[in-house]
């Protein structure tokens, strides 16, 4: 916990310094005023420093590389329910702030900051997860990788990247909260059962828990009929339409790497002999309801994503170009696929 505790004040201090520099360069802390100043005046070096510091501060919050070091230790040391909250709510809020900083004010110099961080996050997150035996640490590195996938959309054009990030955040919240709910319940009091081998034979001993975790894992991989499929499809589609071929290739390769360690958990649950010394407690009503809701959201976003995509598109239009008709925006491959006969 010391690493995490140290990381959070660092991000706040960095963001505060960035805000002070941006005020010094533009004379305001109002987003509209900053946007107008950056569009009309010559951009000073102080603006680039401010944008870089803002990105560093928010990078700590979303656990993107190279600002991710605190994540595995904090995820392993904190209770699983708290980790489930940390990996979704605050991260989604930080990405929302990042949307406004990078897209709404059209922050100068953002492209290469985002490109490098996205590539590092996907690669370091997936490679780190490959060698983990602790489920919570594995999901921590997975969280870093998924921050990288979302940053791919930040490198794309605002018209496509904004809605892609929104949809990805919604999908990731559903599947990650569900996965940590299963991990929290199975770990038992004191979280004694968090290693990969503890999950051996879970498919025979607790079919509902294993089935729910299996669906969340295949959604994290990005397999069709789950929200994770359209989340990645939409992000990579936005990247390709923005001519980010290299970053898209890195993302697809990393998705293949991620499939290995997610499938490894499923193999252990269904193809290993059960460990009788590991107790499996009955699923309480509250947990059952939570799992049903997250399962329904995960599958709904993978089968009928059109309504959520449309909402994300309209929200993105209001954020980035409020005066431009939505019909004038580029059409995404996902929308074509969704409305194809």
φ, ψ of residue 28 in degrees (nearest 5): -155, 160
pTM of the model: 0.87
- pLDDT digit string, tens, across residues 212-250: 999 999 999 999 999 999 999 999 999 999 999 999 999
Is the separation of the CB atoms in 34 and 28 below 8 Å?
yes
**Beta-bridge mates of residue 134:** 195
The pLDDT value recorded for residue 324 is 56
Going from the first residue of the chain to its last (341 residues), give the mean pLDDT of each consecutive group of 10, the final group possibly shorter. 43 71 82 80 80 88 91 90 86 88 78 93 96 94 95 91 93 94 86 89 92 96 94 95 95 95 95 85 91 96 92 84 55 44 32
- pLDDT digit string, tens, across residues 255-279: 999 999 999 999 999 999 888 788 8
CA distance 296 to 300: 6
The pLDDT value recorded for residue 146 is 96
Which candidate, 103, 95, 105, places its Cα nearest to that of 29? Answer: 105
DSSP characters for 177-200? HHHHHHHHHHHTTTT---BGGGGT
CA distance 64 to 74: 15
Domain locations along the chain: 71-89+110-335
CA distance 291 to 253: 30
Would you tell me how many other CB atoms lie within 10 Å of the CB of residue 49? Answer: 16
CA distance 61 to 8: 7
CA distance 160 to 234: 9
Which ranges in 63-157 belong to alpha helices (H)?
70-77, 80-86, 89-99, 110-130, 135-155
φ, ψ of residue 195 in degrees (nearest 5): -90, 160
φ, ψ of residue 330 in degrees (nearest 5): -65, 145
The pLDDT value recorded for residue 330 is 53
């Amino acid at each position: 916990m010391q690493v995490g505790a140290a990381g959070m004040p660092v991000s706040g201090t960095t963001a505060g310094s960035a805000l002070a520099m941006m005020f010094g360069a533009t004379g305001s802390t109002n987003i509209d005023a900053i946007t107008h100043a950056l569009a009309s005046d010559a951009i000073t070096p102080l603006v680039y420093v401010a944008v870089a510091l803002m990105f560093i501060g928010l990078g700590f919050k979303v656990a993107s590389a190279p600002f991710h070091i605190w994540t595995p230790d904090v995820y392993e040391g904190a209770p699983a329910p708290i980790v489930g909250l940390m990996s979704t709510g605050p991260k989604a809020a930080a990405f929302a702030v990042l949307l406004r900083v990078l897209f709404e004010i059209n922050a100068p110099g953002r492209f290469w900051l985002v490109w490098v961080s996205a590539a590092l996050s996907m690669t370091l997150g997936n490679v780190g997860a490959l060698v983990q035996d602790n489920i919570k640490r594995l999901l921590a590195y997975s969280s870093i990788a998924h921050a990288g996938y979302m940053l791919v959309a930040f490198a794309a054009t605002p018209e496509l990247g904004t809605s892609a990030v929104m949809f990805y955040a919604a999908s990731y919240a559903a599947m990650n909260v569900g996965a940590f709910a299963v991990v929290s319940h199975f770990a038992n009091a004191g979280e004694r059962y968090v290693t990969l081998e503890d999950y051996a034979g879970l498919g025979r001993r607790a079919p509902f828990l294993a089935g729910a975790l299996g669906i969340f894992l295949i959604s994290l991989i990005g397999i069709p009929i789950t929200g994770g499929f359209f989340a990645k499809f939409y992000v990579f589609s936005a990247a390709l339409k923005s001519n980010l071929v290299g970053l898209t290739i890195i993302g697809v390769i990393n998705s293949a790497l991620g499939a290995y360690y997610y499938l490894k958990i499923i193999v252990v649950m269904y193809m290993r002999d059960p460990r009788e010394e590991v107790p499996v407690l009955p699923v309480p009503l509250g947990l059952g309801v939570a799992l049903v809701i997250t399962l329904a959201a995960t599958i709904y976003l993978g089968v009928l994503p059109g309504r959520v995509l449309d909402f994300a598109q309209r929200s993105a239009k209001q954020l980035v170009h409020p005066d431009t008709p939505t019909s004038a925006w580029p059409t995404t491959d996902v929308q074509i696929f969704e409305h194809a006969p």
